[in-house]
Amino acid sequence: MNAPLGVILAGGLATRMGGGDKGLLPLAGTPILQRVIDRLAPQVAAIVLNANGDPQRFGDYGLPVVADPIAGFAGPLSGVLAGLDYAATQGHTHIVTAAADTPFLPCDLVPQLQLAANVAGLALAASPSGRQPTFGIWPVALRDDLRMQLENGMRKVVLWTDQHQAGSAVFPDDAAFFNVNTPDDLTQAEAMLI
């Protein structure tokens, strides 16, 4: 399998953080998003951001920004579809998604997802606490099915991936998927860097 396109999901509303872009918050002086990019970039062919609103706020990163194709903040699956649609225009067969607020994502995320992928090329990451639905490998070939399901109201990642018998890449440490949702989480993440 060729190196997939990396898609960083930054389309959430960040309500528990008071709004704005969690990924742009500094973590020990470096934006969380930059930490995600630094970990994901060596594993993928290229990176695109999925974010809604004015893409210029990410201008410093020099990355393409794609908005959700489904209106009304339809959740991570809409971001996945945005990535799949973009990947199709660039000739990629798969994307790998990661959340913009997870500064410690595994440095072997992509190879482990590729090993776990089912025949269709679909897998989610998992850790001791359960599946990590914003971390997965997704085949472009399933984008029309995903679009139809989203238009029919599908919002839960695992409900859709279960329909397609997604594989599961199990990682040993929950900390790899620690996400910064609140100011307290940001403090905890700083402690985890030490």
Can you tell me the distance from the alpha carbon of 29 to that of 67, in angstroms, rounded to the nearest whole number? 27
| Single-letter amino acid, residue 10 | A
Mean pLDDT, rounded, for 100-109: 97
H or E stretch covering 26: strand 26-27
pLDDT of 177 over the 70 cut:
yes
Mean pLDDT, rounded, for 23-35: 95
Q: What is the DSSP letter of 172?
A: S
| Single-letter amino acid, residue 56 | Q
Tally of domains within the chain: 1
The pLDDT assigned to 20 comes to 67
Can you tell me the distance from the alpha carbon of 112 to that of 137, in angstroms, rounded to the nearest whole number? 10
For the chain, how big is the Rg over CA atoms in Å? 15
Report the alpha-carbon angle 48-82-116, nearest 5.
Answer: 80
Question: Under a CB-based contact definition with an 8 Å cutoff, are residues 76 and 133 in contact?
Answer: yes
Mean pLDDT, rounded, for 71-79: 87
The pLDDT assigned to 191 comes to 94
Q: What CATH code is carried by the domain that includes residue 76?
A: 3.90.550.10
Mean pLDDT, rounded, for 168-178: 96
Mean pLDDT, rounded, for 131-150: 97
**Residue 183 lies in domain:** 5-192
